[in-house]
Structure 1
Amino acid sequence: MKHKENNFVIAFYNLENFFDTHDDPHTLDDDFTPSGRKEWSESRFRKKSKKLARTISLIGGEYSSEVPVLVGVAEVENELALDSILHTKSLEEVNYDYVHFESPDERGIDTALIYHKSHFEVLDAETIPLMLTNGNGDRDYTRDILYVHGKLHQEEIHVFVNHWPSRRDGSDETKHKRIKAAETVLAKIETLPEENPNCIVMGDFNDDPNSESIQRIMASEQFVNPMQQLLSPKSGSANYKGQWSLFDQIIISHSFLNFEKGTHSFKKAKIFAPKFLKEWKGKYKGNPFRTFVGKKYLGGYSDHFPVYIVLRENR
């Protein structure tokens, strides 16, 4: 289809506690084992792998004839879990690979970047530790920020995949941690050699577009947040106690607003929320169809909808 030519999708997806079934003695993953509290069996693991793979294969399909060229993910335990997604029927024919590092998160959940090798070449990758301390002055171990420098077609870009500290102990009480995460991303960007680097900052920020942490990034005046207008009382990427949030966002540098040959320009931003990803009846109708509620197994996809942007390659 003519309108899909030269359009490419970049997505972010929080996979909701996507653990393998093995007990890692170094992390708090005991719930997600066959004998654990959630009775996380091989069969449940395989079903979820297939569901996540199918979802990824369909993101942005109405705008591009290709599967997403980049997919940042959060809440994935390890390479075994990533491999299980990429080796399912929906994705095994796609030339996908990924960048993943083990992070010091106590539960053992990490971020990763899945990339399409026919469109993206990794030049460099590293983790950026988020140095936080708790009330006793000891290090508060949380997810690292994943940084990947690569070439999308012929254009160099810098991708940051984030899963910022949660609000579990209260949004005000934990706000400083997410502000520190924003400052950590900006500090890395300042070290990049280019004058106006092409940056994509994506993730589950555990904050909305108007929160202080995200506004800290926007105050650098290097970025636009195309997700800003997607949050409303009736829509978002996750729903908690009847309230929509848009913690999942993809923020892009101003450089994606040009139309020079050989560059990529921003077209649109969307939440991917087709019917199959939603609860279809009852009081939670329309919410993300999740895998678990507490320890009750629902067999859904994730408690977050994926979000994505469409870029056009200027040829």
Structure 2
Amino acid sequence: MIDDSEYILVRHDLQTVAFYNVENLFDFYDDSRTGDNDFLPISVKRWTYKRYENKLRKLSFAISNIGKKETGKHPAIVGLAEVENAKAIQDLINYKHLEDCHYNYVHYDSLDERGIDVALIYDTTAFKVTHSEVFRIHLIDQLGIPDYTRDILLVSGFLDGEFMHVIVNHWSSRREGEKETEPKRMASSHKVSEIIANLRLENPDAKIIVMGDFNDDPSSNSMKQLIKTSNLYNPMETLRSFSRGTTYHCRQWNLFDQIIFSTNFFENTPDTFEFEMANIFDDDFLKLFSGSFKGTPFRTYVGKKYMGGYSDHFPVYVIFKK
């Protein structure tokens, strides 16, 4: 059998930048510093080495194919959400579908109550990291107690020789209600605006990419505020529809996963990247193929029931052309 992938034309003038909420990528070891009690071999979910390896296999295959139809190669940069620790990221990039992709990673442990973090993996032959740091969101719950969530990750570096900044996010969930939790996401939105303002103090023409699981749609107040305040463009606004999104809840599609960027990615300047296209990576292999939820993300778990899938989110990606 001939592997058609060998004959895909590699486009050296294109690079894919992606984001993927990988749904609780925990290793199977007990870590007192994280909330991993559900993800142990002895837990109700029975998170065993075999199940962990299956998830690594599936995620590594999915990541290796994001943008491949358009560029002929794996993504240069991938932001991740819901990773437990550096070991889980290292295991992912070492797995067979990614082991030849030259990926390294940037990760910091956060104080998130669930023990999950954001991270960035990148092809070291395409992206050279020069700086990284995290920013904490200071939230207080109704009792006046600190409410810890994921940090915001800033990574700066050179993509094929062009300097740019990537900001990775995973904003507070809607678990206690959309309106009740909106102030938390607005706080994160303001923090990102502040980060961008500081980057532009150093360089008014800074090229900036903001990605994440924002737990809000493009039309939500937090996203509209960020776009307006920081003069960004959101190519995801037109992607959500009645029958398409990145995550499915209460029989409704949402586009919580988005990649937005500074408007100077539209400038047609020699030897610099400009925006080519954006999309949801929702190939059929990532979907349930039967039942009442046919076409929705093939998840690892539904509640405590093991499904053996990829994630409860589809990845999103943007392609830039030089």
Q: Report if aligned partners of 1:278, 1:289 keep a CA contact under 8 Å in 2.
A: yes
Indicate the percent of aligned positions where both proteins have the same amino acid. Answer: 46
Against the structure 1 CA distance between its residues 60 and 161, is the aligned structure 2 distance closer, same or farther, given a 3 Å change threshold?
same
2:43 is aligned to: 36
Q: Is the 8 A contact 1:179 1:213 kept in 2?
A: yes
Q: CA deviation digits over 1:126-170, x for unaligned, max 9?
A: 010011111122211110001111111111111110000000000
CA distance in 2, matches of 1:105, 1:3: 39
Q: Are 1:206 and 2:215 counterparts?
A: yes
Equivalent runs, 1:125-136 vs 2, <5 Å: 125-136=132-143
Match of 2:296 in 1: 287
Equivalent residue for 1:306? 315
3-state secondary structure, aligned to 1:227: helix
Task: For 2:190 and 2:101, locate their aligned partners in 1 and report how far apart those are by CA, in whole Å.
Answer: 36
- Is the counterpart of residue 109 in structure 1 residue 121 in structure 2? no
232, 238, 242: which one aligns with 1:229: 238
List structure 1 runs of 4+ shifted beyond 4 angstroms: none
SS of 1:33's equivalent in the other structure is coil
The CA distance in 2 between the partners of 1:127 and 1:2, in whole Å, is: 37
C-alpha deviations, 1:237-273, integer Å up to 9, x for none?
0101210000000001101001111210001000001
- Which residue is equivalent to 1:66? 73
Q: CA deviation at 1:203?
A: 0.2
Selected match of 2:152 from 134, 145, 166: 145
CA contact (8 A) 1:129 1:144 kept: yes
Helix, strand or coil for the counterpart of 2:279? strand
Deviation sequence 1:97-147 (CA, Å, 0-9, x none): 000000100111000000110010111000100111111222111100011
Offset of 1:2 from its aligned partner?
6.4
Q: Retained in 2: the 8 A contact 1:163–1:203?
A: yes
Are 2:25 and 1:18 equivalent residues in the alignment? yes
User: How far did 1:3 drift?
Assistant: 8.5
Q: Does 1:215 align with 2:257?
A: no
TM-score, L = length of structure 2: 0.95
- 1:160-184 CA-to-partner distances (Å, cap 9, x unmatched) read 1000000000000000000110100
Within 5 Å, give how 1:229-248 maps onto structure 2: 229-248=238-257
Range moving further from structure 2, 128-137 or 50-59 = 128-137
Residue 181 of structure 1 corresponds to which residue in structure 2?
188
Unaligned runs of 5+ in 1: none
Q: 1:221 deviation in Å?
A: 5.1
For 1:153 and 1:58, locate their aligned partners in 2 and report how far apart those are by CA, in whole Å.
20
Cα distance, 1:132–1:221 mapped onto 2, change above 3 Å: closer
Range 130-139 or range 118-127, more displaced: 130-139
Give the paired residue count.
313
Aligned to 2:3: none
Segments of structure 2 that go 5 or more residues without pairing to the other structure are 1-7
Q: Distance in 2 between matches of 1:271 and 1:58?
A: 12
Amino acid across the alignment from 1:81: A
Q: Is the 8 A contact 2:10 2:72 kept in 1?
A: no
Q: Distance in 1 between matches of 2:81 and 2:165?
A: 18
Aligned-partner Cα distance in 2 for 1:186–1:129: 14
2:167 maps to 1:171: no
User: Which residue identity is paired with 1:202?
Assistant: M
Could you tell me how far 1:66 is from its partner in structure 2? 2.1
Q: Are the aligned partners of 1:46 and 1:84 in contact in 2 as well (CA < 8 Å)?
A: no
Contact 1:60 1:310 (8 Å CA) reproduced: yes
Select 2:106's aligned residue among 90, 96, 99: 99
| C-alpha distance in structure 2 between counterparts of 1:2 and 1:78, whole Å | 35
Give the structure 2 partner of residue 90 of structure 1: 97
Please tell me the root mean square deviation across aligned C-alpha atoms, in Å.
1.1
Preserved contact between residue 100 and residue 111 of structure 1 (Cα < 8 Å): yes
Pairing of 1:231-270 with structure 2 (within 5 A): 231-270=240-279
